[in-house]
Amino acid sequence: MTPRKASTAAPSLEPATAGELATALAATLARSPADGRIGVLFSGDASSSLLLSLAVRIVGQARVVALVVTSSRPHDVASVADRIGAPTFDMTGRAIEDALRALDLSAVVLGDHEARGDDVHAAGVPALLRPLADVGLGPGAAQRLARDLDLPFIDEAADRTYGEAQEADMHTEAHPTTEEVVQVEAAESELRRLGLADLRVRHHGELARLEAPNAQLTTMTSEPLRGEILRAVRSAGFRIVALDLGAVPETFDA
Q: What is the DSSP string of the chain?
A: ----PPPPPPPPPPHHHHHHHHHHHHHHHTTS-SSSEEEEEE-SSHHHHHHHHHHHHHH-GGGEEEEE---SSHHHHHHHHHHHT--EEE-TT--HHHHHHHHTEEEEE-SS-GGGHHHHHHTT-S-EE-HHHHHT--HHHHHHHHHHTT--EEETTTTEEESHHHHTTSSSSSPPPHHHHHHHHHHHHHHHHTT-TT-EEEEETTEEEEE--GGGHHHHTSTTHHHHHHHHHHTTT-SEEEEETTSS--EE--
The CATH number assigned to the domain holding 208 equals 3.30.70
- Which of 144, 167, 190 finishes a domain? 167
pLDDT the model gives residue 160: 53
Domain span at residue 224 reads 178-252
| 150 and 37 in a common domain | yes
Cα(40)–Cα(143) distance, integer angstroms:
17
Return the higher-pLDDT residue of 51 and 7. Answer: 51
pTM above 0.75, yes or no: no
Q: Does some domain include residue 105?
A: yes
pLDDT band for position 42 (cuts 50, 70, 90): very high
pLDDT at 201: 86
Q: State the pLDDT at residue 176.
A: 56
User: Minimum mean pLDDT among 4-8, 35-39, 143-147, 182-186: which range?
Assistant: 4-8
Within this chain, do residues 37 and 102 fall inside the same structural domain, yes or no? yes
Query: Of 167, 197, 216, which residue sits at a domain end?
Result: 167
Residues 34, 144: one domain? Answer: yes
Asked whether the predicted pLDDT for residue 138 surpasses 90, the reply is no
Give a yes or no: residue 10 inside a domain: no
Does residue 1 sit within a domain?
no
* pLDDT of amino acid 52: 92
Last residue within a domain, chosen from 112, 133, 167: 167
Residues of the chain above pLDDT 70, percent: 72
Establish if 233 belongs to a structural domain: yes
Q: Do 197 and 147 have their domain in common?
A: no
The verdict on 134 and 222 lying in the same domain is no
In this structure, of 1-15, 36-50, 57-71, the range with the lowest mean pLDDT score is 1-15
pLDDT given at position 213: 77
More confident residue, 161 or 141: 141
Residue 229 has pLDDT above 50, yes or no: yes
Q: What is the CATH number of the domain that holds 70?
A: 3.40.50.620
Question: How many domains does one find in the chain?
Answer: 2
pLDDT 10s digits, 44-103: 999 999 999 988 888 888 889 999 887 677 778 888 888 888 888 888 777 777 888 788
Per-residue pLDDT at 17: 56
Q: 28 with 149, same domain?
A: yes
Q: Is the pLDDT of residue 230 over 70?
A: yes
Ranked by mean pLDDT, the top range of 5-14, 81-90, 126-135, 238-247 is 81-90
Q: Is the pLDDT of residue 168 over 50?
A: no
Q: Tell whether 54 and 109 lie within a shared domain.
A: yes
Question: Domain check: are 211 and 235 in the same one?
Answer: yes
Whether 45 and 66 share a structural domain: yes
Q: Quick check: is 2 in a domain?
A: no
Is it the case that residue 190 has pLDDT exceeding 80? yes
Q: Are residues 127 and 244 in the same domain?
A: no
- Tell whether 143 and 32 lie within a shared domain: yes
Interval 143-167: pLDDT, tens = 888 888 888 888 766 555 555 434 4
Cβ atoms of residues 177 and 19 within 8 Å? no
Identify whether 8 is part of a domain: no
188 and 63, same structural domain?
no
Q: In this structure, is residue 199 part of a structural domain?
A: yes
**Chain segment 197-207, per-residue pLDDT in tens:** 878 888 888 88
